[in-house]
Structure 1
Amino acid sequence: MGLARIFRREQLTNYLKSDQHFAKTMTAKDLMSLGIGAVIGTGIFILPGTIAAQYSGPGIVLSFLLAAVVCSTAAMCYAEFASVLPIAGSAYSYGNLVFGEIIGWVLGWALILEYVLAVAAVANAFGAYFKSFLAGFHLNIPTAIAGPYDPTHGTYGNLVAIVVVLLISWLLNHGMRESMRINNAIVIVKIAIIILFVIVGIFYVRPSNWQPFAPYGAHGILRGASTVFFAYLGFDVVSASAAEVKNPRRNMPIGIIGTLVVATVLYMLVAIVLTGMVHYTRLNVSDPVAFALTLVHQNWTSGIISLGALAGMFTMMVTMIYSSSRLIYSIGRDGLLPKFLGRIDKKTQTPRNSLAVITVVIALLGGFVPLAQLTNLVNIGTLVAFLFVSFGILRLRHLPDLPQNSGFQVPGYPVLPIISGLLCFYMMLQLPAETWIASSIWFAIGLVIYFSYGLRHSRLNDQTN
């Protein structure tokens, strides 16, 4: 098997035929809820303060805007793919259709890294946050079951992290309609809590705190933008749901781009109010929003912010577990992983097998493994996918066997997709060396799996040339 075989492209009709067994229940509102659930987590209560103190000052508002503009270039590329190719698997499937199987596999392997580590890390944090939340009511979780496996510090597993992952999996296993109702309700609560902070905080804003606006100059604002860029990651998971969406050509772009718009507005509002309430030099603390509210004697609101943080983590895990199960289903569907992962349950119209496997992996990682040093790998996994999706638009427009001139189209073609790809590459270069080393090991393992198992079991082997 030579180069021609590993770069052989899958046929869109095969994907559409396999994915037709999904129930098409999701609307644009559901997609935005999924996206906002993934993008807006605890970071909104932390980043505006810490980045303002370290890099941008009150100019953090412009940092968020610049980061959103950079992200929007990739978001529009995803929107075009998702509207033209309404299939499960997101960047993995797009890579298979546009570049060939080996590129699709690399993208899928990158996304597995992103989704699994992101959910496990958040589940870990959820357990710690939930413990401190209960402590406020004088309820204590025993230390032995409140942290990763670390006998020297008396912790043997994070029970809350394991339970919350199993709970979310149970919800998703009962079909998307019910899961979306619960997710939508929690997202509304989360947004309401953010708006509550803005409304309460605005009465304590002192314009003098916004001076100087850019204490570290334009360089500080740009440095802040490169740091908060990662706060926007997550909108791409919306594209994983394309096979389950009503009228995907209309609703997918609304879901992806709408997510980015709402997230940008919320981040900027929190940043404006927070830096107006407290001078930026005092915001380099672990919980700047809660700190600011306590400073103006609004302790009751501070407690509600803690609830908002838990809601933020919960919806992020719902979206990521959902997306990762669809990703694993897509790879199993193509035979690159065991084919039982690519089956859809006829009763619930969900990929139960892939959901069960990914749940076990995430629960074990989130419950027993310290993940603090691995979170940068989430960023490189995402940026690899962004890079190929951006440049993939250039090929998508010139492949006669794929739909053309239908659905959403990236404006400013071909300049904007090229800019998007170059910006993603630039952001990858900003990641530390240890992240590149660890990710190289991950991708090497992925290639071994592909050449030893995936290539021999691929569905493409069953198709005539």
Structure 2
Amino acid sequence: MSYLTKKSFESVREAGNTSGLAKTLTAYDLVLLGLGGIIGTGIFALTGFVAAKYSGPAVMLSYAIAGVVCIFVALAYTELASFLPTSGSVYTYSYVAFGQLFAWLVGGAMVLELSVAASAVATAWSGYAVSILEAGGVHIPVAYTAGPLNGGIVNFPAILIVAFVAFLLYRGTKDSKRVNAILVFIKMAAIAVFVFVAAPHFEITNWDNFMPYGFDDVLLGSSILFFAFTGFGALATAAEECKNPKRDLTIGIIGSLVLSTVLYIIVGGLATGIVSFELLDNSQPLAHALAVNNSKIGSAIVATGAICGMTTVIMMNIYAQSRIFYVMARDGLVSKHFAKIHPKYDSPYISVLIFSGLIAILAGLVPLEVIAKMSSMGALIDYIVIMMVVMLFRIKMPDVVRSFKCPALFVIAPVGLLACVYLLFKQIISKEGELMFTGELLIYWFIVVFIVYVIKTSFLKTKKPIEKVI
């Protein structure tokens, strides 16, 4: 039965070596891509939302918890990515481990993690861009800067930034990685400016009510902040474009994640230390915090850095999503058009264009809070799968050479798995034990994904996968 068909380990390796994607990425490129994919909306927008609604100054603790869990996941992720380098990432790992149906459902989770995340980032990008324009005397009607659920018609700036990123990715990794590197340096400089300008205004009294809503809400804040770390997983989708994937992926995934976690904690502490956490519930919390302290120049620099930072996150998410569907098309699970490579730019251009269009529509119509939570849940599901797969592969294929082995795997992986399950549960079930709105959306999403799979495999003819199956 095709539902249980598995891909062979050898076929995945062979496909990765003959993919047709240009191998242009080094370890340095991957660290920059990782920072580009991770540091964005989380630090520039969600810090304020989580601090105001859930954690207070303990947003530092929320970031630390999410970061530690992600580091556990990253250690397992890196072992998989280094010994089974494939642009399919978690989708392909689960195909080898559990079979086609499970891989299809994981692909559905990755759409939430990546495409929905890109939509959320584009929405936050719009908030910063509009504020900069207004500071310069340019006022855009709310009807064109917010979706229908927020009192507008369409969020046009969000659509515009997605279109710009799609154009870069259409032209392949060589051009997009160059733009990414420039934008990463700008946003890191902006974060440095925030730290330098904010530090003299720090007042410990702003931390007096350090955990205003209790530790339970700090954990809920952590589950939402998983959205801020999803970029590190996207690096695994670059495996087939790395010059030395075994070495480079290890450096890229772990290095970018550790650096990002440290920055998140520092910025979260300073943001809640220079203003009361209640004032951070807006679309541009870091810039607003500096403006409250009469640092308008610093505020403008941070806003500019935020725009650059969120642009790189959108770029990395669309990049990763297009590569996953490239592999799914290569396997015969989706239309072969997703696997078409541009003859000049060596990019899966049809995947890029299709997902960019869907992301633009979602960003133009849906509020940030809903899509950020949905993306976090998708990421948590993928991390749960990663922990399961890495333990299974270590048991079933202990002799396969691994350039990186997760230390104390059978301690780290179970702890990480349980932590991800618990944090996912926090977003699905309310304190009163009732299914939350986002939990309902998650269930409906996977029902639709499953129905599409059944219809596709039962009634539609699809081409055979390129790789051999067992």
The TM-score, its normalising length taken from structure 2, stands at 0.88
Contact map agreement 1:335 1:454 (CA 8 A) in 2: no
User: What's the secondary structure of 1:105's corresponding residue?
Assistant: helix
Counterpart of 2:248 in structure 1 is: 251
Counterpart of 1:373 in structure 2 is: 370
- Equivalent of 2:402, from 398, 402, 406? 406
- Equivalent of 2:333, from 328, 332, 336? 336
Do structure 1's residue 419 and structure 2's residue 415 form an aligned pair?
yes
Report deviation, 1:213: 5.5
Counterpart of 1:79 in structure 2 is: 78
Report deviation, 1:280: 4.7
Counterpart of 1:428 in structure 2 is: 424
Counterpart code for 1:447: F
The TM-score, its normalising length taken from structure 1, stands at 0.89
Contact map agreement 2:21 2:241 (CA 8 A) in 1: yes
Correspondences of 1:443-458 after superposition (within 5 Å): 443-454=446-457, 457=462
Stretch of structure 1 that moved more, 306-315 or 338-347 = 338-347
Report deviation, 1:289: 2.5
User: What's the secondary structure of 1:140's corresponding residue?
Assistant: coil
Counterpart of 2:178 in structure 1 is: 181
Counterpart code for 2:451: V
How has the CA–CA distance of structure 1 residues 449 and 59 changed in structure 2, closer, same or farther, with 3 Å as cutoff? closer
What are the ranges of 5 or more consecutive residues in structure 2 without an aligned counterpart? 429-434
Counterpart code for 2:403: G
**CA distance in 2 between partners of 1:462 and 1:83 (Å):** 20
Correspondences of 1:9-408 after superposition (within 5 Å): 9-19=6-16, 20=18, 21-49=20-48, 51-52=50-51, 56-148=55-147, 155=153, 157-211=154-208, 222=219, 224-280=221-277, 283=280, 287-368=284-365, 372-400=369-397, 404-408=400-404
**CA distance in 2 between partners of 1:12 and 1:373 (Å):** 38
Report deviation, 1:293: 1.6
Report deviation, 1:76: 1.1
Counterpart code for 2:462: H
Counterpart code for 2:439: W
Instruction: Quote the RMSD (CA, aligned, Å).
Output: 2.8
How big is each residue's C-alpha offset from its partner over 1:316-353, in whole Å with a ceiling of 9 and x where there is no partner?
11001101110111111111111121232343222122
What are the ranges of 5 or more consecutive residues in structure 1 without an aligned counterpart? none
How has the CA–CA distance of structure 1 residues 117 and 58 changed in structure 2, closer, same or farther, with 3 Å as cutoff? closer
Contact map agreement 1:84 1:403 (CA 8 A) in 2: no
Stretch of structure 1 that moved more, 365-374 or 436-445 = 365-374
Report deviation, 1:193: 0.3
**CA distance in 2 between partners of 1:219 and 1:431 (Å):** 12
Counterpart code for 1:36: L
How has the CA–CA distance of structure 1 residues 123 and 186 changed in structure 2, closer, same or farther, with 3 Å as cutoff? same
Between the aligned residues of both structures, percent identity stands at 35
Report deviation, 1:372: 4.9
Report deviation, 1:250: 0.9
**CA distance in 2 between partners of 1:169 and 1:94 (Å):** 27
User: What's the secondary structure of 2:147's corresponding residue?
Assistant: strand
Contact map agreement 1:128 1:147 (CA 8 A) in 2: no
Counterpart code for 2:260: A
Counterpart of 2:443 in structure 1 is: 440
Report deviation, 1:254: 1.3
**CA distance in 1 between partners of 2:385 and 2:375 (Å):** 16
How has the CA–CA distance of structure 1 residues 460 and 177 changed in structure 2, closer, same or farther, with 3 Å as cutoff? closer
How has the CA–CA distance of structure 1 residues 7 and 128 changed in structure 2, closer, same or farther, with 3 Å as cutoff? same
How big is each residue's C-alpha offset from its partner over 1:401-428, in whole Å with a ceiling of 9 and x where there is no partner?
x972321111112121111111111111
How has the CA–CA distance of structure 1 residues 357 and 88 changed in structure 2, closer, same or farther, with 3 Å as cutoff? same
Between the two proteins, the alignment pairs up a number of residues equal to: 459
